[in-house]
Amino acid sequence: MEHYNMNLTVEVWRQKNKDDKGGFKSYKVKDISSEMSFLEMFDVLNEQLVHNGEEPIAFDHDCREGICGACSMYINGKPHGPWAATTTCQLHMRAFKDGDTIVVEPWRAKAFPVIKDLVTDRSAFDRIIAAGGYVSVNTGNAVDGNSLPIEKEKADSAFAAAACIGCGACVAICKNSSANLFIGAKVSHLALLPQGEPERRTRVINMIEQADKEGFGACTVTGACEAVCPKEISIANIARLNKEYMNASFSSDK
């Protein structure tokens, strides 16, 4: 692909701390290479801000290779920007052209409060996982892989669900700020495997209970989450979550 440089206007949400009201600020960046990543463009912008004695923009990032889920920017009305199945860190500047104005906002959900600028507190996801997104097994020597037969199809679906990186883009785009694509991925991943069986019922009930406590909305299956998920988690996982929830809650003893 041909390389080009561009000048851009970036409108970024700036907010000093969680209590600050915050607002948009407009910045100009020059000579951005089409081969830079989106976060590298932000690095350039931050260098510029530091150079001018201003506070750099706070944003989350860690692996910068699309696997950790830390990066989270709502770019021009879409989480992770214009490309499909791409995290913000894997978005490249060739997605934009010279003279563009790019609006960058943090994830918006009451359950993900803004801490500073583009950084939100996503620990609600951690608490949902802690409520049930695990299996309790004794560790020891690795067992022989073939001692626990799993159908190929189920293994594939479980693996596809396990690809969720917990980025929260699904919550960010959902009109209800529902976390059900994330929870659906986690519940499906374990519900499809024999290892998840012992805690199958308590897991789904506890995870939904925790999500409700955190203040995520109710899923109305609009499909927006699936459309923006960088890991292409299927919305069928939400249906499976609902089924698991019904099975568990209807058959509960008390």
Token digits for 140?
């020891």
Nearer to ligand SF4, 49 or 129 (CB): 129
Does 69 contact ligand FES by CB under 6 A?
yes
Token digits for 162?
């396990």
Does 63 contact ligand FES by CB under 6 A?
yes
248 forms beta bridges with none
**Cα angle at 87 between 83 and 93, to 5 degrees?**
55
28 forms beta bridges with 9
Q: How far apart are CA 198 and CA 205, in angstroms?
A: 14
Does 61 contact ligand FES by CB under 6 A?
yes
Select from 219, 230, 231, 233 the one that contacts another protein (CB under 8 A). Answer: 219
Select from 25, 56, 58, 64 the one that contacts ligand FES (CB under 6 A). Answer: 64
Q: Is 189:134 a contact under the CB 8 Å cutoff?
A: no
Mark the segment that binds ligand FES (CB under 6 A) among 46-54, 62-70, 104-112, 154-162: 62-70
DSSP-H helix ranges across the chain: 38-51, 123-132, 152-162, 169-173, 180-191, 200-214, 224-228, 236-250
Select from 49, 58, 129, 221 the one that contacts another protein (CB under 8 A). Answer: 221
74 forms beta bridges with 79, 105
Nearer to ligand SF4, 167 or 208 (CB): 167
Q: Is 179:125 a contact under the CB 8 Å cutoff?
A: yes
Nearer to ligand FES, 164 or 190 (CB): 164
Nearer to another protein, 96 or 216 (CB): 216
Does 67 contact ligand FES by CB under 6 A?
yes
Q: How far apart are CA 170 and CA 241, in angstroms?
A: 15
* Residues in touch with ligand SF4 (CB under 6 A): 164-170, 181-182, 185, 229-231, 233
* Residues in touch with another protein (CB under 8 A): 22, 24, 74, 76-78, 103, 105, 108-111, 113-114, 173, 175-178, 205, 208-209, 211-212, 215-228, 235-246, 248-250, 252, 254
* Residues in touch with ligand FES (CB under 6 A): 61-64, 66-71, 87-89
